[in-house]
Amino acid sequence: MEALTQANAPAKTARRSTVYVYMVSLVAATSGLLFGFDIAVINGALLFLKQQFGLTEAQTEIAASSLLAGCVAGASVAGWLSDRYGRRLMLILSAVLFGLSAIGAALPNRLDEFAAARFAGGLAIGVASLLAPLYIAEVAPARIRGRLVSLNQMAIVSGILLAYLVNWGLSTQGQDSWRWMFAAAVLPSAFFLVALFFVPESPRWLVKMNRRGEAMAVLRRVNSVSDADAELRRIEETIAEESGTLGQLLEPGMRRALVIAVVLAVLQQVTGINTVLFYGALIFKERVAGQTETAAIGANVVVGLINFLSTIIALWVIDKAGRKPLLIISAAILGSCEIALGLAFLQPAPPAVLILTIMGVCGASFAVGLGPGVWVVLSEIFPTRIRGRAMSIATVSLWVACVVLTFTFLTLARTITISGAFWVYAAMCAVTVVFVWRVTPETKGRTLEEIERLWKRG
């Protein structure tokens, strides 16, 4: 009996370790939920905010894009701050900013106050968008790392869907509905903040700070003792290799990789999907016949649900189909849908079912390919020694493009009509197809060393 108990002990330990690392990863992924919620909540809130503050088109663009300006700033400093002060502490800071932003965005009576509160939320998103997947990858054992990192992507699309549902549920509460929509993020922010005090620091950061004993204690919580020893050695070897400098990014081979990463990050945004994410309810209310605020927001719930389900499909197929085919097919379908939207809006009052169907296919095509696919490619094409710096540059480029898109959509639609605006985005989809087909390498199934040799061959 004693022998049987001893034989079962490793299995029980493995189960406890797996449960523990899942709980830690879920806590970190809560930042993804808040990320998705804060990004998408403006969609429905903007209808009421625009009416109550009497916003012009330019002011509406400021209200929608102020969060994204904060994202640029947050993403710019997140890597450096987390290297200095630790992943966990910076995630705690992001939780505080999420909560303060939720309260601040619910209370103002002027646009500048609202924009400042949303900027703080953007800082939180910028930090979380870099650190949550990084933290999960550094804590998780190799055997389940991919699955756990994917939790963050699922959390983001879950947050987007949650925001649409909250907006829909609160849309009947009158002109102050928008205040409650933003305030709803206080509860998950509080949970995230409290839960972070019960998770460990990244073992990789602890090793980097010469806190080897603490790192080993964390690794033994998520691995067996023998696996923890091996993982610690691997971390030490990897850190020893990280001597990359900014100058190395400009070497011939790495320069090509950096250009591909930045162009892909920018193209992901300028293909126009965030016009649906940020302005979908406004488009339905002002451009589609017979739409109340509640009906317009309800239509976005359908789009959000399609986005959520399509992301599940993406996580299943991306390692089977490869990166390039998904990116090309995704951009081609998205561009076709934007051409169709442009044609539909040539009508004075296009049918709601038609617009909803096209927008749903837009969301599905992006979620299956361009959404997760670009992030996967960015994480794979750089060698370890420069990956952090290169990813920071690409991430900041992505957020800058997102700001530009969001800040110019209504102006562009007024200048060249909404049909013309969607056709511009369709042209960007065509550019994406050509760029991925002719320039971007396939990284599926290749080791990081093989990818690095690819750049050296030029």
- Cβ contact 38:128 at 8 Å: no
Reported confidence tier of residue 242, pLDDT bands at 50, 70, 90: low
Inform me whether the pLDDT recorded for 319 exceeds 80.
no
CA-to-CA separations, 214 to 220, 221, 333, 437, in angstroms, rounded:
10, 11, 49, 46
Cite the DSSP H helix spans in 223-292: 225-241, 252-270, 273-287
Whether 172 and 259 map to the same domain: the answer is no
Is the residue at 296 inside a domain?
yes
Mean pLDDT of 415-443: 93
11-15, 246-250, 395-399: segment of lowest average pLDDT: 11-15
Residues 156-183 pLDDT 10s? 889 999 999 999 999 888 888 999 999 9
Is the residue at 223 inside a domain?
no
pLDDT for 307 equals 87
Whether 290 and 412 map to the same domain: the answer is yes
Distance CA 276, CA 364 (A): 12
Inform me whether the pLDDT recorded for 11 exceeds 70.
no
Distance CA 276, CA 142 (A): 37
Classify 414 as helix, strand or coil.
Answer: helix
Q: Which domain holds residue 408?
A: 248-458
- Cβ contact 200:24 at 8 Å: yes
Classify 441 as helix, strand or coil.
Answer: coil
pLDDT for 7 equals 45
Distance CA 357, CA 296 (A): 14
Whether 62 and 135 map to the same domain: the answer is yes
Is the residue at 216 inside a domain?
no
Largest Cα–Cα separation, the chain: 80
Is the residue at 121 inside a domain?
yes
Residues 179-231 pLDDT 10s? 999 999 999 999 999 999 998 988 888 888 888 888 888 888 877 666 777 77
Whether 309 and 422 map to the same domain: the answer is yes
Whether 170 and 282 map to the same domain: the answer is no
Residues 372-384 pLDDT 10s? 888 778 777 777 6
DSSP 369: I
Question: What residues contact 397, with CB distance under 8 A and at least 6 apart?
Answer: 262, 265, 266
More confident position, 381 or 109: 109
Whether 451 and 323 map to the same domain: the answer is yes
Is the residue at 173 inside a domain?
yes
User: Count of domains in the chain?
Assistant: 2
Cite the DSSP H helix spans in 322-383: 323-344, 352-365, 371-380
The CATH number assigned to the domain holding 129 equals: 1.20.1250.20
- Cβ contact 136:151 at 8 Å: yes
Residues 334-373 pLDDT 10s? 999 999 999 999 988 898 899 999 999 999 999 888 888 8
Among 171, 199, 227, the domain boundary falls at: 199
Whether 317 and 418 map to the same domain: the answer is yes
Mean pLDDT of 236-244: 67
Is the residue at 267 inside a domain?
yes
Inform me whether the pLDDT recorded for 249 exceeds 80.
no
- Cβ contact 205:138 at 8 Å: yes
pLDDT for 6 equals 46
Whether 131 and 193 map to the same domain: the answer is yes
Closest CA to 427 of 271, 279, 287, 288: 271
Mean pLDDT of 88-112: 94
Whether 120 and 190 map to the same domain: the answer is yes
Among 181, 199, 217, the domain boundary falls at: 199
Whether 280 and 365 map to the same domain: the answer is yes
Residues 17-28 pLDDT 10s? 778 888 888 888
Whether 176 and 289 map to the same domain: the answer is no
Whether 164 and 274 map to the same domain: the answer is no
Cite the DSSP H helix spans in 107-211: 111-139, 145-170, 177-183, 186-196, 203-208
Phi then psi for residue 276, to 5 deg, are -75, -40
pLDDT for 247 equals 67
Reported confidence tier of residue 453, pLDDT bands at 50, 70, 90: low
Among 199, 229, 259, the domain boundary falls at: 199
Is the residue at 158 inside a domain?
yes
Is the residue at 155 inside a domain?
yes
Mean pLDDT of 244-256: 69
